[in-house]
Chains A and B, each alone.
Chain A
Amino acid sequence: MKTEINEHKIFKVSRRDFIKATSLSMSGLLLGLNVRCSDTSKKLTGNPDAVFSPNLFISINGSGEVTLVAHRSEMGTGIRTSLPLIMADELEADWSKVKIVQAVADEKYGDQNTDGSYSVRMFYTPLRKAGATVRTMLEQAAANEWGVNVAECNAKNHEVVHTSGKALGFGYLAEKAAALPLPDEKSVVLKSPKDFRYISKQSSIVDLKDIVTGKAKFGLDNSLPNTKIAVIKRNPEPGAGLKSFTADEAQKIPGVLKVFTLDAPGFPTNFNKPLGGVVVVAENTWAALKGREALQVTWATGINADYDSLTYGNDMLKRAQAKGKVRRENGLVDKALASAAKIIEVDYVVPHLAHTAMETPCALVHVHDGICEVWAPVQDQQGTRKSVAAALGLEVSAVTINITLLGGAFGRKSKPDFVVEAALISKTMGTPIKILWTREDDIQHDFYHFPAAQHLKVGLDKNNKVSAWLHRSVFPTIGGTANADANEPDSAELSMGMIDFPYTIENIRCETQVAKVKTRIGWLRSVANIHHAFAVGCTLDEIANARGIDAAQNLLELLGNDRHIDFKSLTAEFWNYGVPMEEFPWDTARFRNVIETVRDKSNWGKALPKGSGQGIAAHRSFLTYVACVVEVTVDEKNKIRIPKVDYVIDCGTAVNPERIKAQFEGGAAFAASLALKSEITMSNGGVEQSNFHNYQVARMSDAPYETAVHIIENNERPTGVGEPPVPPFIPALCNAIFAATGKRIRQLPVKLV
């Protein structure tokens, strides 16, 4: 996760730099933008860089075409549209005359690692300033041309208009503006939100037509002359090596060119190292797959050959019953529990999960003449560049990473192991290599979402007031994938729904237990918020039930008076998604507002037939406040259907409401997969599932029929929307199932029989 530092420096760039960075040849006005960011949580990102010095570029050519560089990865959020849209708005550009170019991986752009739901949050103001600076220069150029005061000149829809009515086009002014000095930053005035042309308006994504016509280029869709196809047979136990193999039969398959091995990394594997194994390179995909099928391999066993997720889960659950390491403590929980009139004591369990983006990991790589060229669908662009350079023994400057569209990612493609594989294979073969991961490879060699066991114990006093909240969370930390000593959740993971518990209960204690990492663990859309929101959201519903009051009313009562919660005084471990509390406070008024609004919008408490029910939950993640009401029906065969979901969200300024709605519709379906369908189990160190028949995800009939997304309108700073839909949906769904059936759901995926 990253912190935005308030140092946005805009500068003119040389044409040479622009061409180098974008492979574009341009004339006219070029401006760079320097955005400084600091990495405050190396563990979560795995990115070792503390300070970046990025550039973004705007250019206008003589024919008036505006080129905007998109520097972050498009995986379905619409970011390749939304970020340029911000610049275009301040620039007063005509969107139909804007061309978007995807940047290569380069530190000049600053942070490009597209994760953590912060692209808009981090770049909103800098991009507005960049657009406004160019607009100011165009206005000055027009004023000079006319010999009038610049105050009489206003940029409007791709031209600068004088108060007299005369106008000059951006294309005409480009060359003249380029000759001007940069304006004083203070003279650059941002537009008033009421004048926004594109921000907060409907906008289709720029790749829409290419997608529906099949022309959009994803990771496997590029080719170079003489490209060969590679697949790898990997040890089911991550990190463990190879004992022996026979390739005689594989070599007989027509088209198979070479069979060789890649070293295993040992365990922990780290985030960017290939798993090693036996590589089959062939003339075409089918020959490679048939060749791999014909291999005979005997694997070595490693330190996790005993890993059995069922045993491991039972062990976590057992440890969750005993006092652990205290991560937040306010008041005297034990005393309050001892004197409680009523106790709620519950356990919540979630399994390992796999990402299964529809596009499996893949890449096209060509290592030649001391350089390496990559075309790949990666989230962590610069991390990929460095990992490839290190694996090949090249300088980083010798590696070019071209970012294709990502066919989904959800966190998987922030790990560049598959690109490094292709690079090592290309180096051996001397030809361009396209690497394919089959669905089996993807499901069996993922960086899995952590399994978790949680124990909650809540006390109600004799006045029916909640007097004590004890929450114990046990799960293997993501950090353990890189560091053998990391065996207990870190502060950031706990600040995703556990120690950031906002309710006004006098006595609160949060604890963790040791859980050693036994496989590759990685972040999945919304990360630890998934299991924490599940347990907290469902327990709050159990509290409402025990108190005999309405669930929405219970949330509002427990939330207390409107205030900014000073979490730092409640626990030293609190982490605010890497940004200062002064800029992004924990504002209970905004949280209350989304809860009250969802109650109204969803017609909460409406009469429903038998077998139907509504459930509510609210959660703040990635700085965005979300409340959710899910309606379910459960038929006599226990088939669960979701006719309606209502989300109310406060994500500050909604830059692209159409895509925000899409993220919430899709986020609900994604969460429905996690709640109802998906489970990875492991035995003997390896994964037991292999494809979509036994690792199931939501299909049309499992997903919500209708998702209504209500966006709170305000001019607060924009916050994340990619991940926040997921956490509150799951408890809202489970609470709805309780309302419909009387059955409490405390383990995922939901099994009603």
Chain B
Amino acid sequence: MATYQLTVNGETHTVEAMENTPLLWVLRDNLGLTGTKFGCGMALCGACTVHLDGNPIRSCSTAISTVSNKQITTIEGVANGEDLHPVQKAWMEENVPQCGYCQTGQIMAAIALLEKNPSPTDSDIEGAMSGNICRCGTYERIRKAIKKAANPTAQ
């Protein structure tokens, strides 16, 4: 066991954990941030996607020992108070979720995509989102919501 300092959604936390503990379980077990989901444990499905210094990472396969002194953002940290992130708004306008379980990971991947590429093509979207599985099959609406978030006034 070791002590780690990590910054999540702008707040600094000190946690005790084994050094190879995945960030996912620290977020969920230690910090109670349950918006980030377990899906596969092998970085294959994207349900656990969070941002590390703005980059999308799979928290199920990122050891706690590697994230000290970096900025971690989870789904709980993307809205500005009651004002939702444009991607969250687009997700609501397009009625994307079905069961909803994978959607926080999908939204985190989409936010990271749009920060790097504000006007993604279909192929850019497919490339950035191919690591995120939705078993309910909401892919069409995910694509539409990303386009809407990129260009809220277009139809």
Contacts and interface: CB of A to CB of B under 8 A. Distances in A.
Question: Is B a genuine binding partner of A?
Answer: yes
Contacts of B21: 284, 286
Interface in B8-33: 17-18, 20-22, 25, 28-30, 32-33
Given A358-B135, A662-B138, A204 B95 contact: yes
A215 interface: yes
Contacts of B20: 286
Contact of B84 (A213, A356, A357, A707): A213
Contacts of B139: 669, 698-700, 703
A209 interface: yes
Interface stretch (B51-59, B71-79, B112-120): B71-79
A285 B26 CA distance: 9
Interface string A659-680: 0001101111110110000000
Contact of B75 (A214, A672, A706): A214
A77 B98 CA distance: 6
A205 B103 CA distance: 14
B140 A665 contact: yes
Contacts of B45: 358, 439, 692
A670 B28 CA distance: 29
B93 to A, nearest CB: 9
Interface in B122-148: 125-126, 129-130, 132-143
A425 to B, nearest CB: 17
Given A220-B28, A229-B29, A358-B39, 20 more contacts: A75-B99, A78-B98, A212-B92, A214-B34, A215-B35, A218-B101, A287-B18, A290-B18, A357-B99, A358-B136, A407-B100, A408-B135, A410-B135, A439-B45, A440-B41, A665-B138, A669-B137, A693-B42, A700-B139, A701-B126
Contacts of A666: 98, 136-138
Interface string A391-431: 00000000000000111111000000000000000000000
B1 interface: yes
B59 to A, nearest CB: 12
A356 B103 contact: no
B102 interface: yes
B25 A284 contact: yes
A208 B107 CA distance: 13
A668 B99 contact: no
Contacts of B32: 223
Interface string A635-675: 00000000000000000000000100011011111101100
B1 A439 contact: no
Contacts of A436: 38
A interface secondary structure, majority: loop
Interface in A695-751: 697-701, 703-707
Interface of A: 74-78, 204-205, 207-209, 211-218, 220-221, 223, 229, 254-255, 284-287, 290, 356-360, 405-410, 436, 438-440, 658, 662-663, 665-670, 672-673, 691-693, 697-701, 703-707
Interface of B: 1, 17-18, 20-22, 25, 28-30, 32-42, 44-45, 47, 74-76, 79, 84, 88, 91-92, 95-104, 107, 125-126, 129-130, 132-143
Contacts of B99: 74-76, 357-359, 405-409
Contacts of A406: 99
Contacts of B35: 213-215
A440 B45 CA distance: 13
A669 to B, nearest CB: 3
Contacts of A209: 84, 92
A215 B88 CA distance: 13
Contact of A701 (B92, B130, B136): B130
Which 7 A-B pairs give the minimum distances between C-beta atoms? A214-B35, A669-B137, A407-B101, A76-B99, A76-B98, A211-B100, A214-B75
Q: Point out which of A77, A78, A208, A440 has the most chain B C-beta atoms below 10 A from its C-beta.
A: A208
B101 A359 contact: yes
Contacts of A358: 37, 39, 45, 47, 99, 101-102, 133-136
15 contacts: A76-B97, A76-B100, A76-B136, A207-B97, A208-B97, A211-B103, A213-B75, A214-B34, A221-B34, A286-B18, A286-B25, A359-B99, A667-B137, A669-B136, A669-B138
A213 B37 contact: no
B92 to A, nearest CB: 6
Given A665-B138, A700-B139, A212 B84 contact: yes
A288 B42 CA distance: 17
B79 to A, nearest CB: 6
A213 B88 contact: yes
A443 B92 CA distance: 32
Contacts of B141: 662, 665
Given A408-B101, A700-B126, A707 B18 contact: no
B140 A707 contact: yes
Nearest to A693: B44
Contacts of A285: 25, 28-29
Contacts of B25: 284-286
B133 A668 contact: no
A220 B40 contact: no
B141 to A, nearest CB: 7
A666 to B, nearest CB: 4
Given A691-B44, A699-B130, A214 B36 contact: yes
Nearest to A705: B140
Contacts of B126: 700-701
A699 B137 CA distance: 8
Contacts of A220: 28, 34, 38
Contacts of A255: 18
Contacts of A74: 99
Contact of A691 (B38, B40, B91): B40
Contacts of A705: 140
A668 B137 contact: yes
Contacts of A440: 41
Contacts of A703: 137, 139-140
Contacts of B129: 700
A213 B103 CA distance: 9
B82 to A, nearest CB: 10
B42 A697 contact: no
A574 B97 CA distance: 37
B135 A356 contact: yes
A677 to B, nearest CB: 11
A65 to B, nearest CB: 21
Given A220-B34, A669-B137, A213 B98 contact: no
Contacts of B91: 212
A217 B34 CA distance: 8
A486 B102 CA distance: 38
Contacts of A698: 137, 139
Contact of B37 (A77, A208, A218): A218
Contacts of A75: 99
Contacts of A218: 37, 100-101
Contacts of B36: 214
B1 to A, nearest CB: 5
Contacts of B84: 209, 212-213
B23 to A, nearest CB: 11
Q: Point out which of A77, A220, A410, A439 has the most chain B C-beta atoms below 10 A from its C-beta.
A: A439
A691 to B, nearest CB: 5
A286 B28 CA distance: 11
A226 to B, nearest CB: 13
Given A212-B91, A284-B25, A665 B137 contact: yes
B135 A697 contact: yes
